[in-house]
Amino acid sequence: MKIDFEHRQAAHCESGVTRNLLWTASNGKITEPLAFGIGAGLFFVYVPFIKINNGPAIAFRSFPGHIFNRTCKSLDIPVISKKFRSKEKAQVYLDERLNEGRAVGCQVGVYYLPYFPKEYRFHFNAHNLVVYGKDGDNYLISDPIMEGTNIMDSYQLERVRFAKGALSPNGHIYYPKENKEITDEQIKQAIKGGIKKNVYNMLHIPGSFAGVSGIKNTGLKIKKWRDKLGLEKSGLYLAQMVRMQEEIGTGGGGFRYIYGAFLQEADIYLPGNQLAAISGIFTKAGDMWRTAAVHAAGIYKGRIGSQEDFNMMGDYLLEIAALEKSAFETLKKIKWA
């Protein structure tokens, strides 16, 4: 079975899958940054009463699945999305789609993903890849974060499609129902909608867990970690934050660089709205997240660790919160030219 599909590597799995699935339909116009921005992918959330891998639940991106759905919806592309209770039915459904000559997106867990290095295997269930063919019992896999393509046999694929734990995929499969031509006008509207949604997510979600108030609140909390958790545990917490921020899939700087790239591309579609200039603020925010990460590394490596160091760590986040607040307020005030 050979399906017309080209593997392209990306920084982030979901925006990469979105771009790769929409590549033909969009004539190559929907790039990874555009998918990320239209899908309102940028986020920050820290939920203190949930633990992930014995550490804090911190994310720098919006909820899994939102990017693909939002991007398709705002480009008026109908989406088929299915979950399954039965593993057999999930495989039959996948095989039928492949037989129709469709490449499809699948949500998977990474813990039992055979081609991932062991060090990267955690019970993270919101990874995304494309299945684009089958050869005997082997499925052809395009994982956007990998340079090349991979192969999984039916048992291996079933295992990751039915990974267990938080956000378990339940065989989740998704694809654009039909290839529709995407016009520049649609892209322009979608960009505006994506920015508007992201402004809301970062500025207006009530409570102090999410958005810029979440960053600020986390900064204040970090200052208390040393007393509250002890040096070793707070080091672990900071290491987890840095991993969520910089690890594979983020494009670096907690997705802030991808968002900066999005605004630059958006500026070409919608000139005269200062989007390129605002992009620069996100580059700066990404740089600041990285500076904070270097400081955090000093703590978890045990090189530094005084209360003063924790205060400084917290202050980095307060500064970032203020900067990103100003960036999103500027985006909010745009009177579209």
What span, in angstroms and rounded, lies between the C-alpha atoms of 86 and 47? 32
Name the residue nearer to another protein (CB basis): 9 or 208: 9
Alpha-carbon torsion (223, 224, 230, 233), positive or negative: negative
Q: Which of 80, 301, 308, 329 binds another protein (CB under 8 A)?
A: 301
Q: Which stretch binds another protein (CB under 8 A): 38-46, 64-72, 118-126, 207-215?
A: 118-126
The footprint of another protein on residues 172-211 (CB under 8 A) is none
Examine residue 164 and tell whether it contacts another protein (CB under 8 A): yes
Locate 77 and state its tokens.
């592309």
**Interface mask toward another protein for 239-268; x: CB under 8 A:** xx-xx--xxx--xx----xx-xx--xx---
CB 240 within 8 A of CB 56: yes
59: helix, strand or coil: strand
Asked whether position 115 contacts another protein by CB under 8 A, the answer is yes
Which token pair is 190?
A: 């979608």
CA 267, distance to chain mean position in Å, is: 22
Decide: is 50 part of the binding site for another protein (CB under 8 A): no
* CA dist., res. 119 & res. 53, Å (int): 14
- Which of 107, 279, 285, 288 binds another protein (CB under 8 A)? It is 279
110 binds another protein (CB under 8 A): no
CB-based contact 112:156 (threshold 8 Å) = yes
By the rule CB under 8 A, 168 interacts with another protein: yes
User: Using the rule CB under 8 A, is 55 a contact of another protein?
Assistant: yes
Selected binder of another protein within 126, 190, 293, 323 (CB under 8 A): 293
Using the rule CB under 8 A, is 120 a contact of another protein? Answer: yes
Is the Cβ of residue 145 or residue 205 nearer to another protein in the bound state? 145
CB of 331 to another protein, least distance (A): 17
Dump strand ranges (E) for the chain.
Answer: 42-52, 55-61, 79-82, 104-108, 127-135, 138-142, 150-153, 173-176
Tokens for 41?
């992918």
Q: 98 or 242, CB closer to another protein?
A: 242
Q: What is the DSSP letter of 63?
A: P
Q: Is 130 in the site for another protein (CB under 8 A)?
A: no
**From CA 129, how far away is CA 173, in angstroms rounded?**
10
* Out of 23, 122, 200, 209, the residue judged to bind another protein by CB under 8 A: 122
Q: What is the distance between the alpha carbons of residues 95 and 111, in angstroms, rounded to a whole number?
A: 24
- Report the C-alpha gap between 60 and 36 in whole angstroms: 12
Binding site for another protein (CB under 8 A): 9-11, 33, 53-55, 111-112, 115, 117-120, 122-123, 145-148, 164-166, 168, 235-236, 239-240, 242-243, 246-248, 251-252, 257-258, 260-261, 264-265, 279-280, 283, 290, 293-294, 296-297, 300-301
